[in-house]
Amino acid sequence: MALLDKIRIIDRKLLPDSRGWFLKVLNGMEEVLPAHTGESYITMALPGEWRANHYHYKTAEWFTVFKGTAKVILEDVETKERAEVIIDAAAPKTIFAPAGIAHVFINISKAEEMILIAYAANTYDPADTCLYNLVD
């Protein structure tokens, strides 16, 4: 079998808005995935802008900034316990947020985009996402 018959090139859709952009890397519907696969995505925020500001009822997520710096605000929606963490591409860290933890990523740079890659344990379901205002 020829190489081009073995690989898959999959078109993706970049979703820009006034804050930056969002791009799913995996959506869980690709061929040849394990029995259960969530989705991977990349999102960008312009200086001073934010991404997310929600929580999930069922889905856990892992987040890593690979360009820029973000202030991450997290809140347990049951106990209201809140934490703020700074994550920076220069000293990479991954934040795991289980279901029920609200999260927002604020680009605290004055000049640089913040780009974050994430993995969600489940594929996107709008009924699993609840808006939660950690920032306005």
Q: Tell me, what amino acid is at 28?
A: G
CATH class of the structural domain 13-28+36-131: mainly beta
The residue ranges of every structural domain in the chain are 13-28+36-131
The pTM assigned to this predicted structure is: 0.84
| Spatial distance between the Cα atoms of 77 and 113, rounded to a whole number of angstroms | 29
pLDDT, tens digit, for every residue of 51-108?
Answer: 999 999 999 999 999 999 999 999 999 999 999 999 999 988 899 999 999 999 999 9
* Residue that has been written with the tokens 């991977």 in this structure: 40
Look at residue 59 in the predicted model and tell me its pLDDT. Answer: 95
pLDDT, tens digit, for every residue of 6-29?
Answer: 877 788 888 999 999 998 888 888
Q: How far is CA 109 from the centre of its chain?
A: 18
